Structure formats: structure tokens, C-alpha cells
């Protein structure tokens, strides 16, 4: 019960990795605010978890806008109290007929939306929550980067996704330096190929190619990302900040 008594806000909390993160924190005694655009799915998830005795609330919000982030924070605080831990997990990676758009063909609107959800949301929520964390002298922030933010994967993801995931690494390091004196740690996780429902839309040949390049010769599990997340925000990692932890099975080791 490493997180007993703490309140955690998880964006993108209904997805494969997001759901695993939510479940991990609830299992460790935390109160959790699930934030996602999918209202029907999120409410059903929250209702089921609440029926199991967990302290959880769902907030339907678009974190790609500052107003949506304000809404998420206000509703989460009203239901669960001050937020100790922020997990910037929301992310999108649009495809076209299963393929990423080339830079010369990408619509500016698609670029803007990916930057908003994958990157700006992390700033918006940190901007909203950091002052309270500073006042209390405690806070934990983890953002979901990707191995695509550290290596060129043009055949798998588009330039907007790689750019935002790389930018989250810079964001993490700067925020760690700025907020560290207030007892706030800021870290990032860089998942590799994780076995989520999203992979069912990807050709098996593509997944097999990644597995062949991965030292452990398998896909990762959402629970393995969630466990890393819970560790980085626990007391066991009190002296860990500004770091990017790969959860990739040895794929694209750098």
C-alpha cells in the first residue's frame, strides 16, 4: 500500500496502459481520478471500480485544451481532495489506412491536435497542479514519453508523435530542475511495444519485426508500465528525478 492516502490524477485513463496504471494505484491504496474523452467507457470503468470498494472518480475532459485541464483538476479536487500525483498518460498517434502520414502530406490540424494532447496537456496540468504541490512541499509527476522520442521510427509513427515524445523528455528534465527544491520529483517513462488493444489494428508482421529486435523477444505488458509508474512516484524513488526510464525489453537500447 505504497500510495495509501494519496490522490492520483491519470489522463488517458481508459486506454490499455491508462487502465493498468489506474488499477495499479488503486491496488496500492490511492484515490484515483480517471480523466479521458471517452465518457461512456470511463464512467463504466469508474462505476465498476467504485463497486469494488475503490475511491475513484471519472472526469470526461479534453486535456488538449487548457479549459479541459482546468475542468479535470476542479472536478477531481472536488471529489477526492488535493492531488499529490500527476500521470500525464494521454496520447494519440493518428494513422491513415494503418500508416503514419508523411511530413509533406500531414495536415496542420493533425499536427496541432497531436501536440495539444501529447505535449501541451502535460504543461497545462503541471501548470495547474505545481503551485499546490509547492505549497505542500510534495508532489510526483510522471509523463509518458516513448522510445520513439529517442530514436527514428518513421516507418511506425509520424513526425508529430516522435516530436512530442522527444519534447516530453526535455519538459521532464526542466520541470525536475525547477520543481525539485520544493520536494517535487518529475520523471518520464519511455515504453516500447506494449501489448494493448491498439496493437490489434497493427499488422502482425510489424509486431513480429519489433519482437525480433527486442532483447527479451516479446511485447511488453501494460502492467509492467504501470508498475514502473507506481515505483517512480513512491517513497522508494524519493531521490529519483529528471529521469527517463525505458520499459521496452531492450528494444532500441541507447
What is the DSSP track for 176-193? HHHHGGGTEEEEEEEE-S
Q: Provide the β-strand partners of residue 72.
A: none
| Secondary element (H or E) of residue 59 | strand 56-60
Active site residue 161: yes
Distance between the two ends of the chain, CA-based, in angstroms? 34
Burial letters 217-241, b for 16+ CB under 10 A, else e: eebbbbebbbbbbbbbbbeebeeeb
Q: What Rg, from alpha-carbon coordinates, does the chain have?
A: 17
- Let me know the angle formed at the C-alpha of 104 by 98 and 108, rounded to the nearest 5 degrees: 85
Q: From the candidates 25, 124, 161, 182, which is the catalytic residue?
A: 161
- Distances in Å between the Cα of 144 and the Cα atoms of 25, 81, 82, 94, 165 are 16, 24, 22, 17, 8
Q: Which residues are catalytic?
A: 161
Amino acid at each position: 500500500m505504497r500510495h495509501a492516502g494519496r490522490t492520483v490524477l491519470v489522463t488517458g485513463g481508459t486506454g490499455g496502459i491508462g487502465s493498468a496504471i489506474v488499477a495499479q494505484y488503486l491496488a496500492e491504496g490511492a484515490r484515483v481520478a480517471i480523466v479521458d474523452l471517452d465518457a461512456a467507457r470511463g464512467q463504466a470503468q469508474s462505476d465498476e471500480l467504485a463497486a469494488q470498494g475503490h475511491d475513484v472518480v471519472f472526469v470526461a475532459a479534453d486535456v488538449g485544451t487548457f479549459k479541459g485541464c482546468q475542468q479535470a483538476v476542479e472536478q477531481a479536487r472536488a471529489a477526492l481532495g488535493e492531488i499529490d500525483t500527476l500521470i500525464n498518460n494521454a496520447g494519440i498517434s493518428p494513422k491513415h489506412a494503418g500508416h503514419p502520414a508523411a511530413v509533406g502530406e500531414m495536415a496542420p490540424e493533425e499536427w496541432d491536435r497531436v501536440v495539444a494532447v501529447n505535449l501541451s496537456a502535460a504543461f497545462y496540468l503541471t501548470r495547474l497542479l505545481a503551485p499546490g504541490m509547492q505549497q505542500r512541499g510534495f508532489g510526483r509527476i510522471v509523463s509518458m514519453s516513448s522510445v520513439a522520442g529517442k530514436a527514428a521510427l518513421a516507418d511506425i509513427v509520424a513526425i508529430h508523435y516522435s516530436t512530442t515524445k522527444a519534447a516530453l523528455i526535455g519538459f521532464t528534465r526542466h520541470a525536475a530542475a525547477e520543481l525539485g527544491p520544493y520536494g517535487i520529483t518529475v520523471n518520464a517513462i519511455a515504453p516500447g511495444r506494449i501489448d494493448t488493444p491498439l496493437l490489434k489494428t497493427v499488422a502482425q508482421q510489424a509486431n513480429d519485426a519489433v519482437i525480433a529486435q527486442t532483447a527479451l523477444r516479446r511485447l511488453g505488458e501494460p502492467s509492467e508500465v504501470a508498475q514502473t509508474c507506481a515505483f517512480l512516484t513512491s517513497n522508494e524513488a524519493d531521490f529519483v528525478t529528471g529521469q527517463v526510464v525505458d520499459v521496452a525489453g531492450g528494444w532500441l537500447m541507447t
